[in-house]
Amino acid sequence: MDRLGARPVGRQSSSSQGVEAFSVVPSQVTGMDFLRDPKLFKGMAFSLEERQTLGIHGLLPPRIKTQEEMAEHSMRNLRRFDDPLNKYMYMADLMERNEKLFYKVLSENTEELMPIVYTPTVGLACQKFGLTFKRPKGLFITIHDKGHVYEVLKNWPEQDVRCIVVTDGERILGLGDLGAQGMGIPVGKLALNTAIAGIPPSQTLPITLDVGTNRQELLDDVDYIGLRHKRVTGQEYDDFIDEFMQAVVRRYGQ
| Residue tagged active-site, from 87, 189, 224, 252 | 189
- Containing 208, the helix (H) or strand (E) segment is strand 204-210
DSSP string, 93-149: HHHHH-HHHHHHHHHHSHHHHHHHHSTTHHHHHHHTHHHH--S--SEEEEGGGTT-H
Catalytically annotated residue among 118, 128, 134, 224: 118
Rg of the chain taking only CA atoms, in angstroms: 21
Under a CB-based contact definition with an 8 Å cutoff, are residues 31 and 8 in contact? yes
Known active-site residue 118: yes
Active site residue 90: no
Cα–Cα distance, 41 to 86 (Å, whole number): 23
Residues carrying an active site annotation? 118, 189
